[in-house]
Amino acid sequence: MEQMKELVESVLESAAEHQLWSPHDTIVVAVSGGPDSVALLHILYEIALNRIPLTLICAHVNHGFRAESAEEAESVRAMARELGLPFEMAEFDIPSLVKESGLGPEGAARQKRYQFLIDTAHRYGARSVALAHHADDQAETVLMRMLRGSGPSGLGGMRWKRTEKKVELIRPFLRINKTALVELCQQEGFSYAEDASNLKTEYRRNAVRLELIPTLEEYNPRVKQSLLQLSEIVQAEDEFMEAAAAKCFDELVLVDSGKCSLKRTSFTAVPSALQRRLIKLILNYLSADSSSLDFSKIEAVRRGTLQEHPTVWSLNLGSGLTCMRQYDTIVFLSKPPKQQLSYTYRLSLPHPRIEIKEIGKVLTMSVLERENFSVLGEDFGEMLAWFDSSELVLPLTIRSRLPGDTIRVMGLNGSKKVKDIYIDDKIPSSERSAIPLVCDGLGNIVWIPGVRRSMHAAVGRHTASVLLLSLEDKEKSEEA
């Protein structure tokens, strides 16, 4: 009884620290029939009976792996009946699931087990599912992730609680070692099953537990305690850093449909400890499948952003994610950037309006006689341009950009490449194909809306009538 009292106190202390439950919560307890889960069910029953009012549901999964599986299921059912607890069980044909899912036996079993436990919690309106992972499991997890090259989040090991499909998965035993749980079952006479597959070293976790950890204990007898301390420290610091990264995201990242962007200067001012986390947070925001986002890809984005040159680049990150640098802007896309648009339209009187469907714009042309206009200068930044109508050769052509395009810019002796103008003005490459080029009847580019006007057909003192061109969004044009 002394062992039960100590373990109950330990679990209550951890539960309070990590807010694992509140009075009157309903908890689904996952019970495999092994000593760990049998101890979990009895300790939570003791707490629910004498310390904190909790409603418990006993849930068991029969994977059908072994001949003893049916017998173990009946043992768990009897245990629930003895305690007066509702009992839920699922049976799965794992070999068939392996063929369907392409996962290994352990992966398929785990997937179906968690799905059943969460579904059971939903049916009972339970807040959480209690799992019996203990301190030894945690030490093994941290070591396996260390060998795999995990970052801080991985080295934190299993969390005390995490939410999946609106159900909390809680682990009250992460500070209790397996020996204490086995001793409790033996002292209290709780029957439990031993899984012989736990001794098969072809499973990686078993090999770590049975071979690697004992070898490490020859160098440090307290290696498991050290791994547990590492997980505790890293978890707390990881949570702090994740909160800081989320704050950076809210302050610096502009979110649009399927796109996130931020200023390079803002990113470089973020402490390097947060830069990788911010990149990962952005990519996780854009894609539910971030499994392919390894350290090298995140580092490529970070280094490319910090370097002065090149100022324009694009990286395919996999999982449908792309990162692009467009001068001082870093853009993350959840779908590939748009391909170069290609379109050509003609515009002339008596039909002075054309809709450019590819870019959602409308170009209109109107002629004003001298008594109806006053020219004080040109504002090249606006979507308006004035021309001497007697000197502008019609019909006009409105088209997408072509390689080698040049324009004779007003105030400049000679021509300049359109591409160079875009580069000088730091117009992102992804936006360039959406800017139409207006050409006269001779093929000269006379206007790049919002960018430049050419020297052709300039309005002067002798201009009798002005041809006014206006480009606007289709929606605004329809409203007008």
- Say if residue 350 carries a ligand binding annotation: no
Supply the Cα-derived Rg of the chain in whole angstroms. Answer: 34
Nearest to 40 by CA among 55, 30, 54: 30
Element (H, E) at 145: helix 135-148
Burial code (b: 16+ CB inside 10 Å, e: under 16) for 81-120 equals eeeebebbbbebebeebbeeeebeebebbeebbbebbbbb
What CA–CA distances, in Å, run from 51 to 46, 48, 161, 396, 422? 7, 6, 21, 85, 71
Length in residues, the chain: 480
- Residue 148: is it exposed, middle or buried by C-beta count within 10 angstroms (0-12/13-18/19+)? exposed
Q: Which two tokens stand for residue 428?
A: 């992102």
CB proximity list for 9: less than 8 A, separation 6 or greater:
none
Q: How do beta strands 437-439 and 445-448 pair?
A: antiparallel
Q: At what angle do helices 105-124 and 94-101 cross, to 10 degrees?
A: 100
Alpha carbons 32 and 51: distance in angstroms, whole number: 25
- Say if residue 411 carries a ligand binding annotation: no
- Say if residue 36 carries a ligand binding annotation: yes
Q: How do beta strands 26-30 and 87-91 pair?
A: unpaired
Alpha carbons 102 and 407: distance in angstroms, whole number: 58
| Side chain identity, residue 362 | V
- Say if residue 291 carries a ligand binding annotation: no
- Say if residue 35 carries a ligand binding annotation: yes
Please state whether 205 falls in left (phi above 0), alpha (psi between -120 and 50) or beta: alpha
- Say if residue 32 carries a ligand binding annotation: yes
DSSP label at residue 338:
P
CB 142 within 8 A of CB 155: yes
Known binding-site positions: 32-37
Known binding-site positions for ATP: 32-37
